Amino acid sequence: MGLFDRLANVWRGFLSLWISDIENRNPEAIYEAAIDDRVRKHRELKKAVSGIVYLRNKLSTELEQAERELKEVLTQLPVALEEGEDEVALVLIQKKDELTSQIERLSGELTKISDQAEDAKKGLIAFQGEIEKLKREKDEMLAKRATAEARIKIQETLDGLSTDADVKALDNVRENIHKMQAEADIGSEIKGDSLDEKLSRIKERAASVSAKSQLNEMKKQMEARKQQTAAMAEGGVLKKTI
């Protein structure tokens, strides 16, 4: 190993010791830097999740529009057939087939993107939980450090090595108690966000159920009208025969 390599190793050793000493002297700053980094990543992840949710909502809107158009076509098609408008009927049939194919495609895409959105939201909540966990760890570790320092100061007082150690120890203990009180108030924020998201999902499902119910009712009414028309036609034929 050459001289410059040995000097570089020594320099790296001194640098490592210097950084380690700074970290040991400033644990709160190290924790804050780690928390800030996670908060930044959480914002980036939230932005990505919002993009997935936007795409899901867009597909849902397109699907609803296609379903409405299909309902209109299905309503217009029997009228065209009854009036003998074959050209119009052919156009409506083609449009019906196109809309049916589009609805199938959109439904498949919506199912996939909805699953991705749910997984992404769960990951976002879990990541937020990790941030809160790190914050609690910071408070706990700093409290332990403060308690240890207080014990050392008290011992120094008992040993006659420090005249103001007892006052500083009391300050550290008070700070520890205040931090413990702050720690007890943390969990509610995550709980509130989780409840909001659950409520949003319930509203979406309720809207979907309502739409499906309306669709089924319209189909039943159309079928009833067809049966009534067929019965009236059959009755007319019987009268002419008699």
For 161-206, write each residue's pLDDT tens digit. 545 555 676 777 777 777 776 666 555 555 545 556 666 777 777 7
Helices (H), 83-187: 86-158, 165-183
Structure tokens at 61: 């809107």
Q: Label residues 182-207 b or e (16+ Cβ within 10 Å = b).
A: eeeeeeeeeeeeeeeeeeeeeeeeee
Among candidate residues 49, 33, 27, 29, the one with its CA nearest the CA of residue 127? 49
**Greater model confidence, 211 or 181:** 211
Tell me the per-residue pLDDT of 2-43, one tens digit each, with 9 for 90 and over: 554 554 554 454 444 434 554 455 777 888 888 888 888 888
Residue 206 near residue 191 (C-beta atoms within 8 A): no
For the question of whether the overall pTM of this predicted structure is more than 0.85, the answer is no
Among candidate residues 118, 121, 108, the one with its CA nearest the CA of residue 59? 108
Question: What one-character DSSP code corresponds to residue 100?
Answer: H
